[in-house]
Amino acid sequence: MSSVRLRPPAQRGGPRAELHDRHEDGHRLHHLLWRLGPGFRVCSSAVLGGGIGPRTWVLNAQVPGGYPRLDPDRHLAEIAAAEGLTGEGAGLMTAAEVAAYTSAHDGGVTATVTTGLGVRGWAAAPATGPRPGEAPADAPAAPFRPGTVNIVVAVPVPLSDAALVNAVATATEAKVQALLDAGLDCSGTPTDAVCVIAPEPGPDGGEPFAGPRSTWGARIARAVHGAALAGARPAH
């Protein structure tokens, strides 16, 4: 595995993403890397380092389609180690072309999105399995599939725990709005992931709200909508 830094995504303030190139098993792949350092928290659904807590880096790594490994968290840790990263981090994966990322900015918020919509649909899909009155059967564990619409949002102000969770919901709402505005009949893919980066709060606990009509939630929504719409339009 090797890594070469390419052009940085154009971002304004806050943590900046770096685009890297690497080679794995005959594939040329890319990943985006945010070097946060101390003093940041992340709220995410990432396969590595998900949840809410201090994080010193965020990684969004491209993997080949038909991803064969069963240990994505370990794979992401290997990529992070090859970059010389230490401490706790958050790692996302996607089979989409990471070098085709899109980004948008609003009032100090930056949203960076990698988009792949080959397998898309609505979140509330018809149930499958036993008919009414039958006992449910244990469903086999689904194999891991890399996320295809990955959203990383960098917010320049501290957010409370509740606001971090609200920010993830706001980003998801804005993504769905962007997909509909792009003319796509879907709410996303089954493996989309969201990651919100914000400074650690002080004694005041941070901003209490991040819904779409709050100051920072509105900025998150507009930034995510802009980046997701730019990424979704070529797929239509």
Q: List CB contacts of 149: < 8 A, sequence separation 6 or more.
A: 94, 96, 113, 114, 115, 116, 117, 175, 188, 189, 192, 193, 228, 231
Put simply, whether the predicted model's pTM sits higher than 0.95 gets the answer no
Higher pLDDT, residue 25 or 218: 218
Higher pLDDT, residue 6 or 82: 82
Q: 31: closest CA among 9, 55, 50?
A: 9
Phi, then psi, of 19 in degrees rounded to 5 = -95, 125
Arithmetic mean of pLDDT, 193-214: 97
Average pLDDT, the chain: 90
User: What span, in angstroms and rounded, lies between the C-alpha atoms of 111 and 222?
Assistant: 9
Torsion-angle region of residue 107: left (phi > 0), alpha (psi -120 to 50) or beta? left
Q: List CB contacts of 139: < 8 A, sequence separation 6 or more.
A: 129
* Digit-coded pLDDT (tens) for 43-79: 999 999 999 999 999 999 999 988 889 999 999 999 9
DSSP 8-state assignment for residue 147: B
Q: 42: closest CA among 148, 172, 199?
A: 199
Q: Which run of H or of E encompasses 14?
A: none
Arithmetic mean of pLDDT, 134-159: 77
Q: 93: closest CA among 81, 108, 70, 75?
A: 75
Which neighbouring-strand residues pair with 32?
19, 60
Higher pLDDT, residue 99 or 6: 99
User: To which residue do tokens 């069963």 refer?
Assistant: 70
User: What span, in angstroms and rounded, lies between the C-alpha atoms of 114 and 99?
Assistant: 8
Three-class secondary structure of residue 87 per DSSP: coil
Is residue 92 scored above 90 in pLDDT?
yes
Binned at pLDDT 50, 70 and 90, residue 235 comes out as low
Higher pLDDT, residue 10 or 199: 199
What is the DSSP secondary-structure string of 157-214? S-B-HHHHHHHHHHHHHHHHHHHHHTT-S-SB-TT-EEEEEEEPP-TT-SBS--STTS
Lowest mean pLDDT among 29-43, 113-127, 149-163, 166-180: 113-127
Q: What is the pLDDT at residue 134?
A: 47
Q: List CB contacts of 146: < 8 A, sequence separation 6 or more.
A: 63, 67, 72, 93, 94, 95, 191
Lowest mean pLDDT among 7-21, 61-75, 175-189: 7-21
Binned at pLDDT 50, 70 and 90, residue 26 comes out as confident
* Digit-coded pLDDT (tens) for 121-144: 999 988 875 555 444 545 555 667
Q: What is the pLDDT at residue 65?
A: 87
Q: What is the pLDDT at residue 7?
A: 47
Rg (CA), the chain: 18
Binned at pLDDT 50, 70 and 90, residue 186 comes out as very high
